[in-house]
A and B are shown apart, each in its own frame.
Chain A
């Protein structure tokens, strides 16, 4: 297998950046798969095949969402901007500009590499959130 997710020499990257890159690659792959299924569903005429693919794309939605949530948890500024854009009614571009401006006002660049390493500085939340669908 290749190591295309790395843009810089992997042995020079810290472990947390390599993990971050893997999840970014995974996010891209899930988004690609969603796009492919969308195209296949648009032209498929067999209802049974269509049902199977409709079910499969649901899995991709889940995977994409989990990848995204992981990355947002590790990237405070990205999370802050996303909070201002996602699930908001109204003009997407306006929300994006406003969220970016608000995040810029907060100072540091908020990249994943700058994410606080120790829980003492992370605000104290245990980051549990939703566990929807997890069971025995």
Chain B
């Protein structure tokens, strides 16, 4: 039995299938970092740290004539997002109901997606994660109040990457507001803004809840490393007569190997 303790839950195989399918469906659209950065793993729940190949040059030896330096590693962070499912709803699912209420699961999935994206695209200092925009030496390209100049902003960001010797193809992570505006905007002549951006980027454009503005990243590989310990899984916590308490859980570390390989597109101040 794994630490997720799924076998202890009062949930049938059919119920687990429904829960897993719903979770995947809710998670997939928003997991943007996995579409843009190098993903390694999953290496298992037992993995605690990523090897950095570095050593802390502070001699901690208490024995004369013996030098002792500690290895520096990057610990994995564990994310857990709890939710509940009504046992009555699970019974309905077992009978074949197609409208089982998974609202709590949907909200938990959204939380874990935003947590993953925010840490990777911006930063999560307490977790030891230096995100893309926090690490980037480039000043953010600030867009205008409208979206007319958006292709120009993206082109400027790409030019910044090229000037730093960072080759393409590139990817574009769009925060919620930028995504909505990009998708609904047509330029002069009715040409969809999204198609124009595709021509500039030459790589994927992804919806990225949790990101402020947008981020242009190189996708040549080798610049950003997502090390997955346990990939997102559903585990069991407890139950009573009415509800089952479950959680979504994952462990990972993230490293920015080439800070200059990302450029933020910031929203204008005083909007």
Binding site for B on A (CB under 8 A): 117-121, 123-136
Contact = CB atoms under 8 A, between A and B. Distances in A.
Nearest to A87: B40
* Among A120, A121, A134, residue most surrounded by chain B Cβ atoms (within 10 Å): A120
28 contacts: A118-B13, A120-B7, A121-B13, A123-B233, A124-B233, A125-B230, A125-B233, A126-B24, A126-B232, A126-B233, A127-B24, A128-B24, A128-B27, A128-B31, A128-B231, A128-B232, A129-B42, A131-B28, A131-B34, A131-B39, A132-B35, A132-B37, A133-B35, A133-B203, A133-B204, A135-B35, A135-B203, A136-B194
User: Mostly helix, strand, loop or mixed at chain B's interface?
Assistant: mixed
Given A123-B2, A131-B34, 12 more contacts: A117-B13, A118-B13, A124-B4, A125-B42, A125-B230, A125-B233, A126-B233, A132-B36, A133-B35, A134-B204, A135-B206, A136-B205
Interface in B135-156: none
Contacts, number: 85
B123 interface: no
B204 A126 contact: no
A129 B231 CA distance: 7
A128 B11 CA distance: 22
B57 interface: no
Contacts of B176: none
Interface of B: 2, 4, 6-7, 11, 13, 16-17, 19-20, 23-24, 27-28, 31, 34-39, 41-42, 171, 194, 203-207, 219, 228, 230-235
Contacts of A132: 34-39, 219
Interface core residue of A124, A129, A130, A134 (most chain B CB under 10 Å): A124
Contacts of B219: 132-133
Contact of B13 (A119, A126, A131): A119
Contacts of A133: 35, 203-204, 219
A120 B6 contact: yes
9 nearest A-B pairs in the assembled complex, by CB-CB distance: A135-B204, A118-B13, A130-B39, A124-B233, A124-B4, A120-B16, A131-B34, A119-B20, A119-B16
B34 A126 contact: no
B204 A129 contact: no
A98 B38 CA distance: 28
A128 B207 CA distance: 17
Contacts of A121: 7, 13
Contact of B39 (A118, A119, A129): A129
Given A119-B20, A135-B171, A126 B235 contact: no
Contacts of B39: 129-132
Contact of A124 (B17, B171, B207, B234): B234
A130 B34 contact: yes
B35 A129 contact: no
A23 B33 CA distance: 28
